[in-house]
Structure 1
């Protein structure tokens, strides 16, 4: 899965936010353990055991996310930025569009009007903002279309002294938010 392009929003080769999907994060954990085992063969068993334990926990979050989309009749979602594309994929949701096509540039008035037309036509369930960006474009889009907005965290940053369970906690909170908006029939 390479969510590199969404409604005209592209990264050069691939979406670099792979870590924002728990299933992909679990694969990253196993790859890191394999790399550590290659450079430190004496610690290989410990690296692999720790990776197996942690990746199982991440995959459990991934299964919870997958149940969001699996049970939903409508699956459309608008993302503020494509950092959450892998999370949306893990949740079985369809990315209708991305508000902010560049990390550094707020959408223009013309872009917002284009988004209003698209959202009205596609009728997604949710517009998602992210904590590292201003939520003003998402809120304006929600006001104009009547589609609710919620804030999800792709874990692109966090506290310097985050506990080891930080990623899981944030992703579980994201699941809880999505479960509120996507019906589970």
Structure 2
């Protein structure tokens, strides 16, 4: 009797295990089916997610590695981030020293089918002038996504990668890219005319992230911090900014979410100017899309220079 009961228990366990395995396989199959139709794209940070979604729309599943509110060059990937890369078809990063963790991350994973996209490829780059910045971060200013013209280049690089891994949907990606490109051109044309009509061309920001935007529209930026928003300005630099703001009748000091606002606020108080937010778009701020944030940036800059 004892042997019989033991046999029954073992049989029940085996049956239960088989049913459980069957159920799990069905669940995995369903999950795989839901995501299987979409190309998995991992991007380093927010603007590249925006460009990827503009081109790929419902044909892709996008995972962003750098969390909201974290500077891309301060980010350190965790195991879960590397696992995302092992399952991806496409990985997009900005390059130009913005993500110094990329090479190490790619060398630590095993994904021979991963298409790696340096989104800055083919961009018209602006050289850094500080020897210290060049030594630590490289020769070029990385903030190319803040140019409507260079955003088209980044979006095209993403489009080309999607076509490569999903050629059957080439027309779909091409169409989406053309639509996005036209929307960028439309915003550029609108503000090229508006900003071009102004005599005052200079504005003050928290850190020097807007050189490409300035090149698009013939503007000049003066900044509290450098290209990579590292450290605080010297007393001499702050004095220089105060004199500049007074001499040029600067009434607005722009500040960014991921840069410290304290010095900018001090500067604004010194010259009786207001502090106003400007979007670097490194994170998704105030639930704004790339186009929304860029339009607001340009509108606020325009109004500050009138």
Please give the range of the TM-score, normalised by the shorter of the 2 chains.
Answer: 0.7 to 0.9
| 2:197 counterpart residue number | 71
**Quick one: which of 288, 291, 306 aligns to 1:168?**
291
**Quick one: which of 156, 180, 183 aligns to 2:303?**
180
Asked if 1:42 is matched to 2:168, the reply is yes
Distance in 1, matches of 2:157 and 2:237, equals 39
| 1:57 counterpart residue number | 183
| Farther-moved stretch of structure 1 (116-125 vs 75-84) | 116-125
Deviation at 1:132, TM superposition (A): 1.6
Distance in 1, matches of 2:196 and 2:165, equals 41
Contact kept in structure 2, 1:6 and 1:98, CA below 8 Å:
no
**Quick one: which of 217, 222, 225 aligns to 1:100?**
225
Structure number with greater CO (CA < 8 Å, separation at least 6) is: 1
Larger Rg: 2
Contact kept in structure 2, 1:75 and 1:94, CA below 8 Å:
yes
Deviation at 1:6, TM superposition (A): 6.6
Give CA-to-partner distance per residue, 1:149-172, whole Å, 9 cap, x none: 43210201116xx5xx71111111
Q: What pairs up with 1:138-153 in 2 under 5 angstroms? A: 138-153=264-279
Contact kept in structure 2, 1:7 and 1:98, CA below 8 Å:
no
Q: How many residues align?
A: 179
| 1:128 counterpart residue number | 254
Task: State the SS of the aligned residue for 1:80.
Answer: strand
| Farther-moved stretch of structure 1 (4-13 vs 172-181) | 4-13
Asked if 1:32 is matched to 2:158, the reply is yes
Distance in 2, matches of 1:169 and 1:30, equals 20
Task: State the SS of the aligned residue for 1:134.
Answer: coil
Distance in 2, matches of 1:85 and 1:142, equals 21
Distance in 2, matches of 1:29 and 1:43, equals 16
| Farther-moved stretch of structure 1 (109-118 vs 172-181) | 109-118
Distance in 1, matches of 2:205 and 2:128, equals 12
Distance in 2, matches of 1:21 and 1:3, equals 11
Task: State the SS of the aligned residue for 2:209.
Answer: helix
| 1:155 counterpart residue number | 281
TM-score (norm 1): 0.80
Distance in 2, matches of 1:82 and 1:113, equals 17
Aligned-residue Cα RMSD (Å) equals 2.8
Distance in 2, matches of 1:6 and 1:125, equals 28
Query: What residue ranges of structure 1 are gaps of 5+ in the alignment?
Result: none
